[in-house]
Each structure stands twice: as C-alpha cells, then as structure tokens.
Amino acid sequence: MRAVRKCKGTRASLVTDAFAHPQSDEEAEIKQLVDRYNANQAAVLEEELFKQRARLVAAERTLHTKPTKAATENKRIATDKVEATLRRLDDIKRTESEPRDSRIFPGHYAPVLIQEAGQLVVRPMRYQCRIAGKPANYDFRFPGTYNARLDSLAKFWAPLFGYSHGIMIVDSFYENVARSKMEGVVLAGAEEDENVILQFTPRDGSRMLVACMWSKWTAPGEPDLHSFAAITDEPPPEVAAAGHDRCIVPIKEKYIDAWLNPDPKYLDALYAILADKERPSYEHKLAA
C-alpha cells in the first residue's frame, strides 16, 4: 500500500469485481450500495463534464475573436478538468487495478492498525484527523490535519498524543516539491516554478510502519467519524536535497506494542520511540 500527502486525488470510487457476483444476501446488499454510490458519483461527474466543456467552448470562442490571458487560462483549466473528469468516469467502470489505486490521499480512507479491547484491529479511517469534541468545520479551519508535526504533539495534538495511537503500513510516500528545488536551480526573476510530485521509497524495499494518531468523533445526528494523522519530522538529507522539508516517521517493529498502548504519564518514552525511528535510505522518482 502506498500513501500520498498533499496531493489531490480522484474521488470517484472503483467498481471492484469482488461483489460482481454476490454469493449471499450480505454481498448482494454491499453490491447494491456500491452500485448506488457509483451511480450518484457518475451523475455528479457528468454534470461537471458538461460545465467544463461549456467553459472550454466559451474560452475557445473568445480566443478566436480576441485572444486574452483570461481566456487562455480558462481554456487550460477547462481542458485539464475535462480530462480529469473523463478519467474519473472511466475509473467508475474499471475493474482492473492500477498502481495509483493504492495511493492514499488526504480526505480519503485508509487502513490503520490500532489496539482495541486488547486486540490488534485494522480499521478504515479518514486521512485527515478531526479531534473528538471539535466542530465539523474544524476540517476547513485546519485543512492540514492529515499530518501531525513532531514538535506540536504536546500542544495541538495533546488530546491524542499518549492516548490514541495507530500505525499505517506503507512502502512509499509522495510529496509535492518545486522543480527548482528538486533540480537545485535558482529561477530568474519572472520565471515561474513548476510543481512536481515525487515518490520516495526505501532503497532496500522495506515497508514502513508510519506512526499515527487517531480519533473517534461523534456528534448528535451525525455519523461517527474515525480519522487519523501521520506524524512528520525534519527530513533526512536525501529527502531535503530533493526539495521537501518534512518526512513521515517510521517506527521500529520492536516498538509496535508500546506505541499502540501508550501511557500519557510517560510521554518521554513515546518521544524516545519516535527518536529511535527506522532510518531507511530513500530513493525518489517522479510519480507516474
């Protein structure tokens, strides 16, 4: 499984073939729910496609009569959105998996390993943490809460640090970086930079046990929400050299039990686990 941070991903669900031919009433019900969700998603995407195609036609009409910077920009944006929407519609119909399907995007759900009633449990959680007791608009006020900075664990994340810990198992992570930083060049005054997405992977192919914190949010009349944040720290030299200033914190396997069963009276022991993290050597490449 791969994780991605700070990258915008598709919100169209895939129709998997796991329930294409249900063998029980429960599987038939699941298939109905999936079909209904995908039908609703398709309707939303078709509406977006119509809107962006109309925007594209209007921009092209303007450019034909009097080229303007605004029309050029509208054409570019509309073209990109038409392509993205068509791709998302194709995703709904697709049953074969692709490498990008395993990426985890902020706001999407991912499997998180936690300790619950003395048992190890893998629970799907949203990759953007809403701390219990906070209002729902917390998501918009603090959109970056899919990450938890190591230096803010005892402050912003105090309700969770030492109480609700989890682990996300990944083999790669992705970062947005400026091309100029990646290439180590200084741009000219008016030259615009370009954003690129890099995939970082341990050179030895090992999987990473990413330290996380999670919360169960409840409110009257609202569905329960399980959500989590991945802890980040200063980057190792090779990640910094590639142009990024943060990095996930992979813990060592010997600390799994201690991390998943934290004691708020001994935060120093938890900081020690994070300090004695795994230190793979990362290689990177442009994400597909």
- Distance between CA 213 and CA 127 in Å, rounded? 11
Domain residue ranges of the chain, discontinuous segments joined by + = 17-94, 102-286
Q: Confidence class of residue 14 from pLDDT cuts 50, 70 and 90?
A: very low
Supply the pLDDT for residue 2.
41
Supply the pLDDT for residue 46.
96
Supply the pLDDT for residue 188.
74
Q: Which residue has the higher pLDDT, 232 or 27?
A: 232
Cα–Cα nearest to 210, from 160, 166, 272: 166
| Phi-psi map region of 20: left, alpha, beta (phi>0 left; psi -120 to 50 alpha) | alpha
**In the predicted model, is pLDDT for residue 15 greater than 60?**
no
- Distance between CA 166 and CA 160 in Å, rounded? 11
25-65 helix and 69-93 helix, angle to the nearest 10 degrees: 160
User: Would you call 215 exposed, middle or buried from its count of C-beta atoms within 10 A (0-12, 13-18, 19+)?
Assistant: buried
User: Would you call 3 exposed, middle or buried from its count of C-beta atoms within 10 A (0-12, 13-18, 19+)?
Assistant: buried
Supply the pLDDT for residue 199.
93
Per-residue model confidence as pLDDT tens digits over 226-278: 999 999 999 999 999 998 889 999 999 999 999 999 999 999 999 999 999 99
Q: Which residue has the higher pLDDT, 218 or 99?
A: 218
Overall average pLDDT of the 126-145 stretch: 95
102-286 in CATH: which number? 3.90.1680.10
Instruction: Please state the pTM of the whole predicted model.
Output: 0.76
- Distance between CA 30 and CA 40 in Å, rounded? 15
Supply the pLDDT for residue 8.
36
Overall average pLDDT of the 37-41 stretch: 93
Q: Are the C-beta atoms of 231 and 150 separated by less than 8 Å?
A: yes
Q: Are the C-beta atoms of 176 and 149 separated by less than 8 Å?
A: no
Per-residue model confidence as pLDDT tens digits over 164-220: 999 999 999 998 888 877 777 777 767 777 888 899 999 999 999 999 999 999 999
Per-residue model confidence as pLDDT tens digits over 62-86: 999 988 999 999 999 999 999 999 9
Supply the pLDDT for residue 18.
65
Average pLDDT, the chain: 89
- Distance between CA 158 and CA 154 in Å, rounded? 5
Tell the residue number behind the tokens 């969770």, with chain if given. Answer: 160
Q: Where are the alpha helices (DSSP H) in the chain?
A: 25-65, 69-93, 138-141, 179-183, 237-241, 256-260, 267-275
Q: Which residue has the higher pLDDT, 42 or 196?
A: 42
- Distance between CA 245 and CA 251 in Å, rounded? 19
**In the predicted model, is pLDDT for residue 138 greater than 60?**
yes
Supply the pLDDT for residue 19.
74
First CA to last CA distance, the chain: 15
| Phi-psi map region of 125: left, alpha, beta (phi>0 left; psi -120 to 50 alpha) | beta
- Distance between CA 150 and CA 234 in Å, rounded? 9
The percentage of the chain sitting over the pLDDT mark of 90, rounded to a whole number, equals: 71
